Amino acid sequence: MNIEFIEAIEQLEKEKGISKELLLEALEASLISAYKKNYGSAQNVAVNIDRDTGEVKVFSKKTVTNDVKDPLLEIDIEEASTLYPTAKIGDVISVEVTPRKFGRIAAQTAKQVVMQRIREAERNIIYEEFSGRETDIVTGVVQRFDKKNIIIDLGKIEVVLPPNEQIPTENYNQGDRIKVYILEVKKTTKGPQITVSRSHPGLVKRLFELEVPEIFEGVVEIKGIAREAGSRTKIAVYSKNENVDPVGSCVGPKGTRVQAVVEELKGEKIDIIKWDKNISTFISNSLSPARVLEVAIEENNKIARVTVAENQLSLAIGKEGQNARLAAKLTGWKIDIKVRIQEGMKVPKKIPQRMCLGCRQMKPKKELTRIVRTVDGKIEVDPTGKKSGRGAYVCKDPKCLEIALKEERLSKALDTSVSKETINRLKEDLSKI
């Protein structure tokens, strides 16, 4: 190595931000390993690279003695005196032991170390760029499929779209250009690892910020989002300027703005709700497109009892209870919907219904089987439906339990992990009912 090498390192420091001193220290450490590997030495050696000329020298620590038994570790007092006139027996001195052909080894090692440091520097640059971009959206190209993960190329780096962040109704093909939401940026030994999402509510928020200038400028504010990815989203908006209609701003002229978001989400339905500080009004708005007659609030229990006309009931509840479910999620209130019966009409007996975790169908409670996490943490089948604890329901069809387990709906509903042993026991117990 020579002065040109030092100049090249100094240029790297300017262009890539790689410290010259740290690089030379790393190279010296690597050259020690290379020396021991190539010369089979157990000597206590050190390598020094001249910071100005690039010259490489290897030094060995040797003990001064008048009876040399191991030339690799010891040096005669007479020879030591020629190097260090003040040397005396028992001193440990540095003796140059640079092999004649060590320059070739040094050059090869330098190339490897420099390339490694360049890769590390580039990884750090990418990490620094993306670590501050969590919650942003980026556009990438579907590169390949790794098991259930989708690898997306952003140009500088490949990111991972895991199965739980994909939209169930979407099909992805190699070469597709898609927008994704940056969920997490991690620093690993192999470089930055970036996880992205298509199902996160934040993706909807960012898409509206791109399409609606009033949101980007801060005039219209997104107060909340409730989303069932691939199916339907409710978004609550509020205007800080009374002259600006928040819903109209998001819909856009002839619906162009909201339609652009819908197209990016491959047809996902979007309800734009006007947020209101009056919780009764907000809950009423959240059940759109249903028209609400009355909202009675129970502040202590955070329950809203909503009354609708009979012809609005199905709209208020929605398919498989989705409209009511999203409204509750958006407002943060439990919503109980009932029908106002016209005078003279016979009030039908209310049949308790629950949703199956598997097929997601609302069915009479008596047609479903309850699975409960009891107060002592056990997970078991509850044929009577009367055991205390956190419960969830499945159809008697074994396929529904399989779906609930595969999609991890049961563990989410019971707010706990479900072991394989428990799964097998549940299947056995359900087969006996």
Residues 156, 71 share a domain: no
Q: What would you report as the CA-atom Rg of the chain, rounded to the nearest whole angstrom?
A: 35
Residues 137, 160 share a domain: yes
CATH code: domain of residue 368: 3.30.1230.10
Residues 258, 145 share a domain: no
Place of tokens 């409710």: 234
Q: CA–CA separation, 250 vs 257, rounded Å?
A: 6
Domain boundary among 142, 177, 197: 197
Q: What is the pLDDT of residue 183?
A: 93
Q: Comparing C-alpha atoms, which of 386, 379, 387 is closest to residue 422?
A: 379
Residues 24, 49: contact at Cβ < 8 Å? yes
Residues 144, 154 share a domain: yes
Domain boundary among 252, 275, 298: 275
Residues 11, 117 share a domain: yes
Q: Domain tally for the chain?
A: 5
Residues 377, 310 share a domain: no
| DSSP tag of 356 | B
**Helix residue spans in 40-159 (DSSP H):** 77-83, 102-131
Residues 148, 33 share a domain: no
Residues 295, 216 share a domain: no
CATH code: domain of residue 336: 3.30.300.20
Q: What is the pLDDT of residue 143?
A: 95
∠249-250-256 over CA atoms, to 5°?
100
Q: CA–CA separation, 413 vs 393, rounded Å?
A: 9
User: How many other CB atoms sit within 10 Å of the CB of residue 94?
Assistant: 16
Domain boundary among 197, 221, 241: 197
* SS3 category, 274: strand
Q: How far apart are the first and last CA of the chain?
A: 81
CATH code: domain of residue 175: 2.40.50.140
Q: What is the pLDDT of residue 203?
A: 97
Q: What is the pLDDT of residue 294?
A: 94
Residues 296, 242 share a domain: no
Residues 124, 15 share a domain: yes
Q: What is the pLDDT of residue 42?
A: 56
* SS3 category, 43: coil
Residues 158, 248 share a domain: no
User: How many other CB atoms sit within 10 Å of the CB of residue 218?
Assistant: 8
Residues 387, 325 share a domain: no
The domain of 139 spans 132-197
Q: What is the pLDDT of residue 250?
A: 96
∠344-349-353 over CA atoms, to 5°?
140
Q: What is the mean pLDDT of each run of 10 residues along the chain (433 residues)?
A: 79 79 85 80 79 86 89 88 90 86 79 80 82 91 93 92 92 93 90 93 96 95 96 96 95 94 94 96 95 93 93 92 96 93 60 85 87 89 86 87 84 86 86 79
